[in-house]
Structure 1
C-alpha cells in the first residue's frame, strides 16, 4: 500500500529551478493511466486564478482595498519548499489568512519552488470559533433561528476550509514519496488547495453580505476525522477523500442549488453551482492518482477501492449524481451496490443466452452428422 512509515527518509531536492507551468505535472500527463476527465489537461495548464471575489456577474479579481484591510498573515516567503509552505498553511488558524497563504504558496510553486519535506501537524490550526460539536449535536437553521441560505453557506464554508487543509496535508504528509509519485502529484494537490481557498473566499464573502461570518454557527469535524484515518497510506487517502468525500459534493451540489433557488437566493445558488462545477476536477484528479498508485502496486483498482472502503469503515451513501460521477470517471460498480447487482444479473443473462446458443449449435451439429 506504499505506507509512509516504512519508507526511508529521502533527500531534499536541490534549490528551486524555474519551470514552465505545465512541467510540474509532466510526469503525470505522460502516464499510461487513463485520464478520466477530458478537462484535466486544461485544469493543470491554467495559471493560478486571481478570481477570488464574487462580483455582480460572477468571479472577479480581488478588490485592492479589500486586500489592504485584510488581517495580517504569516510571511508567505518563509517556506523554502512546497511542503514547508503547506505545513505553514496547516499551522495558520485564521481562515482568511489560511486562504491567502494557500494562494501565495501555489503561486510560488508555479514559479519554481521544490517539493521538499516538512512535518504535518496532527490537527490543523483553527480559530476559537466556530464551536465544534458532534453530528448528533448539530442543530437545524430553524432551531438556531438563522436564514436557510446563511446556514447552508456556513456549512459549505466549513467544508471548503477543511478541504484546504486536506489537500495540504496530502502534500506534506506524502512528500517523502516524491521520488515514487513524481512532482505531478504534488502539483495537482497544491492546485486543489488553491481552488478550495478560492471557494472559501466566495462563501465567506457571501456570508458577510448576508450579515454573518464564518464562526457564527456550530460545525462538526467529520471531514478531518476521515483525513486522519488515511494518514499513513496514500492509496487510502485517495480513496477516502477525493473518491468518497469530494464525490459527495458532486451528489449534493445540484440539490443545494435548487434549495437556494427555492429560497429566492439566486446569488448564493450561482456560487454553489460554480463551486460544484469546479469540484469535478478534484474528484477526477483523485481518481487519476488512485489508478496510477494501483498500477504501481500491481493491483486491480476496483478491488483495491472496495477493500479500502471496507477496511476504513467508510459508508457509501446515495442518492448519487450519476451524470457528474460518470463525467469524473468513477465506475458505477465501485460505489453503487444496486448497479453492481444489476450488472451481475445482466452478465448472468448473457452467459445463459450464450450457453443456449452453444447447446443449439451442438444439437444442430449432431443432426447433421
Structure 2
C-alpha cells in the first residue's frame, strides 16, 4: 500500500505539470478518503523533476514585469503560474521531508490541501495564458522558490518561516494592489483569478503560523522569539513594507511579530 510520503515523492518526481496536477488530485483524494493511512518514511530528492521548459534563470536576470498590454499580462500570468507550480511541490515536500517530526495527521492534511489549492491556481493561470494565445514554458522563469526550499530542508521551523510566513505572506501584501493595477489597465479576467489565489494564500499563511507555533512550543521555544531569531538568520535586512495588516490578521499573524522587522 502506498504511504503518504511515497505519494509525495511520486508527485515531486513527475516532470510534466499535467501529471503533477493529476497525481496531486488522486493522492489528495486517497488521503482524504482513507485509502492512504500511513505516513511512511520515503524521503524526497533535493530537487523535484521539472519540464524542459521554461528556461530557469537567476532571479537577478529576469526581465522586469509590466502590468500593461497583452505582453505584460502574459508575462505576469506566466510568472505567477511558475510560482504556483513550485508551490505544488513545496506542499508535498513539507509533508515527506518532515515526516520524522511525528506531527498530528492534521499537519499533513493541511499541506496536502495546500498542494491541491496550488493545482487549482496553476491550472487556472494556464487557462488564462491559453486565452491569450500563450502557454506555460513560453517565457523564462526563476528558481528562487526552490532555492529557498533547499536552504530550509534541514529544519521545519525554518521552512515554515521562509515559505508560508514570508513568501506567501508577501503575496498577501502585494496581491490586492496588483489586482488594482490590472483593473485600472482594463484587465477584467486576471483580477478575479488573483482574488481566488489571495483568499487561499491567507489560509496557507494561517497554516504556517499555526504549525510554527505548535512546533516551537514542542521544542520548548517561545514562538515569537523563535520567529525573530529565524528571521534574523534568513532575512537580516528585514521585511519590505507596507503590509496588508487585514489579510495578515485573517491569517492569525500578529502585528507584534512582523511589524518590528519592517523596512521601507
Q: Does 1:216 align with 2:138?
A: yes
Q: Does 1:330 align with 2:253?
A: yes
Root mean square deviation, CA, Å: 1.8
Give the corresponding residue for 1:92: 14
Distance 1:250 1:91 in 2: 29
Counterpart in the other structure of 1:103: 25
Deviation of 1:339 after TM superposition, in Å, equals 7.5
Which structure 2 residues correspond to residues 322-361 of structure 1 after superposition, within 5 A?
322-337=245-260
Per the TM alignment, residue 283 of structure 1 is displaced from its structure 2 partner at its CA by 0.4
Choose the corresponding residue for 1:295, options 217, 221, 225: 217
Structure 1 unaligned spans of 5+:
1-14, 16-79, 341-369
In the alignment, which of 109, 126, 137 is matched to residue 187 of structure 1?
Answer: 109
- The equivalent position to 2:51 in structure 1, one of 117, 127, 150, is 127
Deviations 1:148-194 (A, max 9, x none): 1111111110110111111111001011222xx12111111111111
Question: 1:165 aligns to what?
Answer: 89
* 4+ residue segments displaced more than 6 Å: none
TM-aligned CA distance change 1:171 to 1:291, over 3 Å: same
Q: Give the distance between the partners of 2:197 and 2:246, measured in 1 at CA.
A: 17
Q: How many pairs align?
A: 258
Give deviations 1:274-297, integer Å, cap 9, x for gaps. 111111110001111011111111
1:83 aligns with 2:5: yes
Does the C-alpha gap of structure 1 residues 141 and 284 become closer, same or farther in structure 2, counting only changes over 3 Å? closer
The yes-or-no answer on 1:205 pairing with 2:115 is no
CA distance in 2, matches of 1:325, 1:316: 14
Give the SS at the match of 1:336. helix
Q: CA deviation at 1:316?
A: 1.8
Give the whole-Å Cα distance in 2 for the aligned partners of 1:152 and 1:132: 16
**Rg: which structure is higher?**
1
From 143, 146, 149, give the equivalent of 2:73: 149
Show the 5 A alignment for 1:6-155.
Answer: 80-112=2-34, 113=36, 114-140=38-64, 147-155=71-79
Aligned mates of 2:51, 2:98 — CA distance in 1: 26
State the 1:100 CA deviation.
Answer: 1.7
Structure-1 separation of matches of 2:151 and 2:235 = 10
Any conservation in 1 of the 2:57–2:142 contact (CA below 8 Å)? yes
- Cα distance in 2 for partners of 1:255, 1:182 equals 37
Match of 1:321 in 2: 244
Q: Give the Cα separation in 1 of the matches to 2:158 and 2:213.
A: 12
Contact 1:333/1:339 (8 A) holds in 2: no
Distance in 1 between residues matched to 2:203 and 2:96, nearest whole Å: 21
2:70/2:132 contact within 8 Å kept: no
